[in-house]
């Protein structure tokens, strides 16, 4: 009977012990060897001490004068802390090396203490950076994602985050992000919906020359500095209900092929912003 009396306490101690063990520090070599052999990886509740370089698996294919490193397995990091840089861009014998991820790429609720670079990466599966925290610049420029949905919601960024010239061939979710540095989606293609409601941008927010094929939603977002949409193209309806532009919004040459919903007024289709101001 005494044993049963202390059983709940023993179970709590066991669970606590297991949880603590799962928080152990590891090195990138602990999972890179599996990726190099074509296996999928799942890393949960770990602290990765050194640089993570996805080009280091060295499964190269030639793209003109450049190399593309191909990773076949699914990649999943959940509740992890990256103490150093994470990159999918490198060099090999003076040739530039980018990375192609043939399956899913997931970093959910992860804390990045170094720089993050996924420039020129191609992802064939779902990309998920929901609830990521970036202490230093995070670059996803010229990235191509083929999945139905790409998730970058509830991000907290202390420095600049950019998706310049990136292509999303499905929906892009960047809802409820908090960006203390510059945020850029310049010259980007979103072939589906852009869900950008609830954004909080403390510095410049740039959507210049972006092309949004599906509905764009910026409801309840706050732009504390200039928000720029110069020559952006919205091919479906665009919603800016209770969107707060604290300083200014540059909509020069912005074109709306669908309806523009500003909450108190809905503007007609197929108009440049300067023409909509006549209504």
Q: What are the tens digits of pLDDT across the range 162-219?
A: 999 999 999 999 999 999 999 999 999 999 999 999 999 999 999 999 999 999 999 9
Q: Report d(CA 267, CA 278) in Å as an integer.
A: 10
Specify the pTM. Answer: 0.88
pLDDT at 3 over 80: no
pLDDT digits (tens, 9 = 90+) for 264-273: 777 677 767 6
CB 52 within 8 A of CB 82: yes
For 122, the token pair is 């191609």
pLDDT digits (tens, 9 = 90+) for 224-253: 998 999 999 999 999 999 999 988 889 899
pLDDT digits (tens, 9 = 90+) for 79-132: 999 999 999 999 998 889 999 999 999 999 999 999 999 999 999 999 999 999
From the number of C-beta atoms within 10 Å of its C-beta (0-12, 13-18, 19+), residue 20 rates as exposed
pLDDT reported for residue 277:
52
Q: Could you tell me the CA-to-CA distances from 242 to 25, 121, 220, 223 in Å, in that order?
A: 45, 35, 5, 12
With a pLDDT cut of 70, the percent of the chain lying above it is 88
């Amino acid at each position: 009977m005494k044993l049963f009396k202390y059983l709940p306490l023993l179970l709590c101690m066991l669970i606590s012990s297991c949880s603590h063990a799962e928080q152990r520090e590891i090195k990138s070599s602990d999972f890179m060897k599996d990726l190099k052999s074509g296996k999928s990886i799942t890393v949960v509740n770990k602290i990765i001490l050194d640089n993570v370089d996805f080009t280091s698996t060295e499964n190269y294919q030639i793209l003109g004068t450049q190399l593309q490193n191909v990773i076949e397995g699914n990649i999943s990091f959940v509740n992890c802390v990256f103490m150093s840089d994470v990159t999918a861009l490198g060099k090999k014998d003076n040739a530039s090396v980018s990375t192609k991820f043939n399956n899913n790429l997931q970093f959910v609720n992860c804390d990045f203490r170094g720089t993050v670079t996924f420039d020129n990466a191609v992802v064939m599966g779902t990309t998920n950076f929901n609830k990521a925290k970036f202490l230093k610049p995070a670059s996803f420029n010229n990235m191509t994602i083929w999945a139905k949905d790409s998730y970058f919601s509830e991000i907290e960024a202390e420095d600049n985050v950019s998706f310049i010239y990136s292509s999303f061939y499905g929906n892009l979710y960047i809802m409820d992000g908090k960006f203390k540095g510059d945020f850029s989606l310049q010259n980007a293609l979103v072939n589906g919906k852009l869900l950008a409601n609830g954004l909080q941008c403390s510095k410049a927010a740039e959507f210049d020359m972006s092309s949004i094929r599906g509905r764009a939603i910026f409801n309840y977002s706050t732009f504390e500095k200039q928000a720029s949409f110069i020559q952006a193209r919205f091919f479906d309806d665009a919603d800016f209900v209770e969107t707060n532009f604290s300083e200014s919004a540059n909509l020069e040459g912005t074109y709306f092929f669908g309806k523009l919903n500003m909450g108190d007024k809905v503007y007609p289709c197929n108009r440049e912003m300067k023409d909509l101001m006549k209504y």
